Amino acid sequence: MDRFRDPDVLARVLGDWMSAASGALYRQLATALARAVSDGELVSGDRLPSERDLARSLHLSRATVVAAYDELRGRGLVESRQGSGTRVAAPIDREPAAVTKRLQRGLSSEAVRRFDSAPDSLISMRYALEPGDPRIATAAAAVVEEDLPSLLDELGYSPRGLPALREALARTYADSGLPTAPDQVIVTTGTQQAMTLISQLVVERGATVAVESPSWPGCFDTFSALGARIVGVPMDDHGIRPDALRATLAAEEVAALFVMPTFHNPTGTLMTAARRREVAEVAADLGVPVVEDNAYSTPVTHSGELPPPLAAFAPAGGRVLATGSLSKALWAGLRIGWIRASAGDIERLGYLKASADMGTPLLDQAIARRLLDDLADLSADRTAVARERLEHVTGLLRSELPGWEWQEPAGGTALWIRLPGVDASVFARVALRHGVEVTPGRETDPTGAWDDHLRLPFTFDAATMTEAVRRLAAAYAETSGASA
């Protein structure tokens, strides 16, 4: 089996291996590889990368990897044969947690490990997270004082969501240019659950899903969990390219198209109204459902009104399932998301939601309902902060890392940066050793089209961002072999 001949795949399996052991560097690497064997991540017959390739990927000397492989051979865990490379030896008993750990290897699974066990010194920039707005506490207090008695009269299970929240969300969509009835909305526990429910509805196991290239790493996890094959469609400055989309949908039997038209992750692109219409028409013409994720709503350099959702441009017969969330607009801890679709699709999604958790907590929904009334003011405040932070980080980067290249995003919370002549996956592993965690381009498109890019959120305070850029500059100097 050659699953791990690609050294970057094995590097993702090993994770932050240097923080999990002590001693000589080669022994730390050998310990990490041995753990992967005992956990069932590496199994008998798996072929490991060559010493040279793994050294390049981990940014180590070849001698370190040679010594680590020698250590493993001495333990009887691997064996090397002329012409067949180094392979994992006879079967090893797996620990009870092996299956669980195998499930943790999705592209965005680092979140679980980092949130549970990240060292205090690590600056994790894999996720653009911010503290909650203080007005959430005010809304929560009002819910407890004014709404709780009537909520307690409810049975507690509400698979489609609190009626008052669904009505408010329907009005929000109508105000944005997309007429919506409450029975076209279902409340979910965040965008991730919304995506999971939609994928269960429209994507059969082994089907093909088209996504923007690059795209949000979480969508790869969601669709891959169903065994889906994913194909990327190129973008330009206005969003996904309609000509390339039509060619892809005509050539492939595609079960769904996933797009982020508003402040796309990771590029920050805002899809124009004209482009939304074209995309909706191409998908409808070829009978492909569209999954529209509008998790990001914070403009940064964009001014003026946002275009209506892509669903507003769908022609008769077009099928668009739109998702939204308060996680980015307000706080990730308020796990409120939703799906807007046809009444028929919402009914079917309701059955899936009921089997998942019988409904999102009512108290959270009641808090969200109150916050929706002030969402415009809350968003304006967050936009002002985001603009200040963008100006701060771009100034730091121009000073400390003048070779890096980017276009300022229309909105969202991150920069999409090109590292000329540098493999961003290798750089990310060096940056981790310097105490900063970033998302390399390979996690946004496994084809390798964006291997020299990385995503850099700017949601941190000035002091944290300054320290992060200092560490990144040191890591870049080490990676490139030149002064940053």
Q: How is the chain split into domains, by residue range?
A: 7-98, 123-128+377-480, 135-373
- Whether 400 has a pLDDT exceeding 90, the answer reads yes
**Residue 20 pLDDT:** 59
* Cα(188)–Cα(4) distance, integer angstroms: 37
pLDDT of 21 reads: 62
Determine the Cα–Cα distance for residues 199 and 414; give it in Å rounded to an integer: 26
Who contacts 263 (Cβ-Cβ below 8 Å, separation ≥6)? 269, 270, 296, 297, 298, 299, 409, 410, 411, 412
- Give residue 22's pLDDT: 67
Tell me, what's the pLDDT at 447? Answer: 83
Q: What is the pLDDT of residue 96?
A: 46
Confidence of residue 164 (pLDDT cuts 50, 70, 90): very high
Whole-angstrom distance, CA of residue 2 vs CA of residue 450: 24
Mean pLDDT for 168-172 is: 97
Q: Please, what is the end-to-end C-alpha distance for the chain in angstroms?
A: 40
pLDDT at 484 over 50: no
Q: Which of 9-23, 309-323, 338-352, 399-413 has the lowest mean pLDDT?
A: 9-23
Q: What is the pLDDT of residues 78-112, one digit of tens each?
A: 898 877 788 888 764 544 444 444 444 454 455 45
Residue 332: predicted pLDDT: 85
pLDDT digits (tens, 9 = 90+) for 276-308: 999 999 999 999 999 999 988 889 999 889 999
pLDDT of 394 higher than 60: yes
Average pLDDT, integer, range 220-242: 92
> In the predicted model, what is the mean pLDDT of residues 155-162?
88
Sign for the CA dihedral angle at 22, 23, 29, 30 comes to: negative
Is residue 416 scored above 50 in pLDDT? yes
Condensed to tens digits (0 to 9), the pLDDT of residues 334-393 reads 899 999 999 999 999 999 999 999 999 999 999 999 999 888 888 888 899 999 999 999
| Mean pLDDT rounded to a whole number for the chain | 89
Rounded CA-CA distance 50/27 in Å is 18
According to the model, what pLDDT value does residue 3 have?
Answer: 62
pLDDT tier for residue 446 given thresholds of 50, 70 and 90:
confident
Q: What's the rounded mean pLDDT across residues 38-61?
A: 87
The reported pLDDT for the residue numbered 314 is 97
Mean pLDDT over 8-25 rounds to 77
| Confidence (pLDDT) at 315 | 96
Cα 431 from Cα 468, distance rounded (Å): 10
Over residues 428-445, the pLDDT tens digits come to 999 999 999 999 999 999
310: exposed, middle or buried (Cβ count in 10 Å: 0-12, 13-18, 19+) = buried
Check pLDDT > 90 for residue 9.
no
* One CATH from 2.40.110.10, 1.10.10.10, 1.10.540.10, 3.40.50.360 for 7-98: 1.10.10.10
Average pLDDT over residues 44-73: 89
Nearest Cα to Cα of residue 435 among 118, 4, 21: 118
204-232: average pLDDT? 90
365 φ/ψ sector (left φ>0, alpha ψ -120 to 50, else beta): alpha
- Which residue in the block uniquely carries the two structure tokens 């205090």? 120
Q: Please tell me the least confidently modeled range out of 107-116, 122-131, 465-474.
A: 107-116
Task: Give the mean pLDDT of 8-20.
Answer: 77
Q: Does domain 123-128+377-480 have CATH number 3.90.1150.10?
A: yes
For 133-150, write each residue's pLDDT tens digit.
Answer: 888 999 999 999 999 988
| Model confidence at 65: pLDDT above 50 | yes
Two tokens, residue 66: 């040679």
Residue 103 is predicted with a pLDDT of 43
- % of the chain exceeding 70 in pLDDT: 91
Q: Does domain 135-373 have CATH number 3.40.50.970?
A: no
